[in-house]
Amino acid sequence: MNEEIRQSAVPSGLALRPVRLSGRLAAGALSLAGLAWVLRAVWEVRLSAAGEPGSGPPDQGDGVHRPLTALEDSYHRVSSVGGVVAFLCALFFLAWLWRVRDNARALTGQRPKYAGIWVLLGWVVPVVNLWFPRGIVADAFRTTAPGRKLPVCVNVWWGLWLVGVFSGVGLIQNDSTDQVIARAYGEVWPLLVSDAAVVGAAVAGVFVVRAVTGAQLERIRQGAAPAVERVGPGGED
């Protein structure tokens, strides 16, 4: 009977994809990513407070690297763990985003504003990566909940994401871990500002996932209510 109710809520005839668990996984992964970047910031503060050793930075140029201190070695481990968490977060978030995009079409029969390929490429193609991912999220929400104002958290999340990505010391950076350590010794504040942006984007992202997922679950319930009345408690018309 539940399957009959679910299909009756889909005017376009397309099958809905489960989104509750996907949303929880995406929100949990975002929370872990935020925690990972908090730890990075803590270690960068520790490096700054400890000061650069008399032997100079880890990367001494011309391919020469001195042995790492215990604190520097632990920062390498924290950075590596953060990279793994960020990768898993990306996988869970993209899986969720693809589902809510498809569900918005299934619930309303309206074609998405952005083709499916942009769910992936929209993050990496220059120029369009400045707005396509936000647009996909906004389109999924507005299509699912027409007439409702786009949640503020969407713009907060995207603004902080852009700062964290394009600041040059955040999610995408050309510096090696040893070079980041040297920057922490020299001037830690740019690193901390970027870390704060990444953490803020992760926290705002949790609210984004909850808002869009909640809107879709509400829309599904609204579409299912008439079906319950038609089918009746005995499962027959």
Domain-embedded: residue 209: yes
Backbone angles phi, psi at 111, to 5 degrees: -70, 140
Q: What is the pLDDT of residue 65?
A: 84
Residue 132 placed within a domain: yes
Which pLDDT score is estimated for 191? Answer: 92
Q: Is 59 helix (H, G, I), strand (E, B) or coil?
A: strand
12, part of any domain = no
Who's near 199: CB < 8 A, 6+ residues apart? 34, 37, 38, 41
pTM comes to 0.85
Would you give per-residue pLDDT tens digits along the chain (237 residues)? Answer: 443 334 444 554 567 888 999 999 999 999 999 999 999 999 999 999 999 998 888 988 877 888 999 999 999 999 999 999 999 999 999 999 999 999 999 988 889 999 989 999 999 999 999 999 999 999 999 999 999 999 999 999 999 999 988 876 655 666 789 989 999 998 899 999 999 999 999 999 999 999 999 999 999 888 744 433 333 444 433
Q: Is residue 11 part of a domain?
A: no
Per-residue pLDDT, 172: 62
- At 170 the pLDDT is 57
Is 2 inside any structural domain?
A: no
Specify the pLDDT at position 63. 78
User: How many domains are there within the chain?
Assistant: 1
Under a CB-based contact definition with an 8 Å cutoff, are residues 129 and 189 in contact? no
Q: Which pLDDT does position 168 carry in this prediction?
A: 64
On whether residue 32 sits in a domain, the answer given is: yes
Domain assignment present for residue 208? The answer is: yes
Expressed as residue numbers, the domain containing 91 is 19-224
43 in a structural domain: yes
DSSP, collapsed to helix, strand or coil, labels residue 144 as helix
